[in-house]
Chain A
Amino acid sequence: MRIGIPRSLFYYKHPQLWVTFLRELGQEVVLSPPTNRPLLEAAVRYGEDESCLAVKLVFGHISYLLGKCDRIFAPAYYGLQPDRYSCPKFLGVPDISKSIFGPQVKFLRCEVDDGEFEPGMLELGRALTPDRGRVQQAMSRALEAHRQYKRELHDKYQQQLRSEQPKIVVVGHAYVIHDSYANLNVVAKLRERGMEVITIDSIPFTPRESFLKWDFAYETMGQLHEVLAHDIEGTVVLSNFNCGVDAITVPFIEDELERRDIPCMHLVLDEHTGEAGLITRVDTFVDTLKMRKRA
């Protein structure tokens, strides 16, 4: 069976996990290309106009996959940490796609709750193949691939900490930071200006008590706490316009940074964001950091 994976939202959170799992089960995986102009246009056309850009993009990617695969893979993330919740817009994706594209779109669901992948994977695996041993094997390989991916990120983080260059932390959802077309390549722009850019998902997470009930927000606060123990020059917060989670999280992040006297730039992106304006803001921010250092 050909299974389509939209390259958006959850893909960026677990890029290796699902691809490995489905391939190990002998399925053909069709991955939509990285976001580009036609996909963005499709996203604006099919997406709900008050959603955030990331959720619109999911529908753009799904529209690309239609007709190119038999099923579209859409895991339901109820929560990626124990006792925490995910964004509800993720959960609605399969049902809304049916409303938008019609009932011919078929989805593969896989529920992830409390950060436990195994039960959902077992269920999905059994639906795809009767061979239990194979499911077990695929599952362990997929989880190992994900761990490997995380390990590489953490190793990179350790290297970055030793760097001589001024260090900047980029905070945001994985699907905002890593979708370089949609965020107008802001990470590369910072790197070009001589900054050592640490993305928040490369920082190891240590649980830290927080009232924030969203898994993303909870992880971010923990990771931020870890990274701010080092010598950090500034922080860039990337969020999508109308992101519900960020509306709550960002004030707390800004408050934390203000108390530590670390400059913070909050960039709100959507499909209308102009590159020239973004360059001006990035330039200004980098200049501010340099001037602070000199002073």
Chain B
Amino acid sequence: MKERVFTLPLCGNAWIPFKGAAEQLGLEVVVPPPITNETITLGARYSPEGICLPFKVIIGNYLQALEKGANCVVFYINNRAGDKRHGGGGGGMCRFRHYGHLQQLVMNKTGADIDFFILGEDGGLVQQIKEITGRGTWEIIRALRVAIKKLRIIEMVEELSWRVRAVEKNQGDTTKALNKALEYLEHVHDFGTLDRLDPHSFFSNVETVDREPLRIGVVGEFYLLVEPASNCHVYEMLGELGVEVHRHLCLGEAILRYPPGFVLGKLMAWWLNMSIPPRSEIAEIAKPYLSCSVAGHGRESVADTIRFHDAGYDGVLHLLPMGCMPEVTVRPILRKISEDYNFPVLTLSFDELISEGAIRTRIETFVDVIRLRKERRRGGHALPGS
């Protein structure tokens, strides 16, 4: 039997904890090179034309990882999340549910010699990992525990970096601090160390200025929210314009909310020594505009736009891959909310042909508009771009 070398699709910095866990379990892992335009073009060449951007990027990842010597792919599909009535997550009606099979078809067509392990497809995640690694249940659970904890900490660090970047004194300091933090976290494999870590400590050396930043909430499709290369690095772009960003979904949070029922949820919280973000009343908040789930995170986008408004944010940015089924469905609703609440919402739709320049122009304009609005409300006035 040939030596298995595993790879996984990139999804923000989520590869760090999962690579760590896989290596702890004795697997050899090759991480695809960072996503560039070349990755996306490569993926788009082999993918079906009508499929959404995340799929094309993932295929690009695989092809580039193959060049680096990978021969097995591990992909995860949340089989349960796509409950018809409750939606949420990538299962069910959203195209994400079929990614695994389509990836196999597309990769076979390219003639690549590659094996697929689709976790979560037939339930029994731990069982499947056992079959792949040949390790014991306890070992797997411990590795997963560290991975989830680390993932959550990475997300907290990212979240903090967007906050700090908006008020940093010397441009680029935050990015440097963030990279240093990620590098450090990559090599921590001990739960206790992670548990004692204070995410704020990574940014204590960044000099900040005293000003009140604008605040923008980001809603939309999951992959675009978590993979900066697929959204032309809008978070950094906004941070450099002095805007604090908060996204409504992230992977770790989704995992923490995964266990069904109260008891399992509590158990998970205890196991990870972490508070579970409360299940908010998404359905209730979205109800005046959307009475049923439209798969994916469509309903979450609607509810969270309203929540960002109520929390006093200055605007909302809605990110979606072009043609995304749930997000396209809710787009007219977001427009209506923007009208009803007199609240700026900018929708950006991404595909493989998007240029960073176009996005930058629109983001800068949007930031100018909300800054002017804010100044005018206060009774002062400001020049655009000031």
Within 8 Å of chain A (Cβ to Cβ): is B106? yes
Within 8 Å of chain B (Cβ to Cβ): is A131? no
Asked if B328 and A48 make an inter-chain contact with CB atoms under 8 angstroms apart, the answer reads yes
Query: What is the bound-complex CA distance between A252 and B51, given in angstroms?
Result: 13
Interface set, chain A 124-141, CB cutoff 8 A to B: none
A91 and B294 in contact, given A50-B349, A251-B106 (Cβ under 8 angstroms): yes
Asked if A78 and B95 make an inter-chain contact with CB atoms under 8 angstroms apart, the answer reads no
Contact of A79 among B84, B105, B292, B330 (CB under 8 A): B84
Within 8 Å of chain A (Cβ to Cβ): is B92? yes
Within 8 Å of chain B (Cβ to Cβ): is A262? no
Asked if A243 and B50 make an inter-chain contact with CB atoms under 8 angstroms apart, the answer reads yes
Query: How would residues 254 to 295 of chain A score, 1 for a CB under 8 Å from any chain B CB and 0 otherwise?
Result: 010000000000001000000000000000000000000000
Query: How would residues 169 to 188 of chain B score, 1 for a CB under 8 Å from any chain A CB and 0 otherwise?
Result: 00000000000000000000
Interface set, chain A 97-119, CB cutoff 8 A to B: 98-100, 113
Stretch at the interface among B206-214, B236-244, B332-340: B332-340
**Number of residues on chain A facing chain B (CB within 8 A):** 38
Within 8 Å of chain B (Cβ to Cβ): is A85? yes
CB proximity of B267 to chain A, nearest CB, Å:
29
Within 8 Å of chain A (Cβ to Cβ): is B290? yes
Chain B residues near A214: list those with CB within 8 A.
93
Interface centre among B48, B49, B52, B82 (most CB of A within 10 A): B48
Interface set, chain A 225-253, CB cutoff 8 A to B: 239, 241-248, 250-252
Asked if B290 and A88 make an inter-chain contact with CB atoms under 8 angstroms apart, the answer reads no
A50 and B292 in contact, given A85-B92, A88-B93, A246-B50 (Cβ under 8 angstroms): no
Within 8 Å of chain B (Cβ to Cβ): is A212? yes
Asked if B48 and A96 make an inter-chain contact with CB atoms under 8 angstroms apart, the answer reads no
Chain B: number of interface residues, binned into ranges: 35 or more
Asked if A50 and B289 make an inter-chain contact with CB atoms under 8 angstroms apart, the answer reads no
A92 and B290 in contact, given A99-B333, A247-B95 (Cβ under 8 angstroms): yes
Asked if A211 and B98 make an inter-chain contact with CB atoms under 8 angstroms apart, the answer reads yes
Interface set, chain B 287-345, CB cutoff 8 A to A: 289-296, 298, 322-326, 328-333, 335-336
Within 8 Å of chain B (Cβ to Cβ): is A147? no
Query: What is the bound-complex CA distance between A78 and B87, given in angstroms?
Result: 11
CB proximity of A249 to chain B, nearest CB, Å:
9
Interface set, chain A 28-56, CB cutoff 8 A to B: 48, 50-51
A248 and B325 in contact, given A76-B292, A85-B84, A85-B92 (Cβ under 8 angstroms): no
Chain A residues near B294: list those with CB within 8 A.
88-89, 91-92
Asked if A87 and B332 make an inter-chain contact with CB atoms under 8 angstroms apart, the answer reads no
A99 and B323 in contact, given A87-B93, A247-B52, A251-B105 (Cβ under 8 angstroms): no
Within 8 Å of chain B (Cβ to Cβ): is A95? yes
Contact of A50 among B94, B106, B296, B322 (CB under 8 A): B322
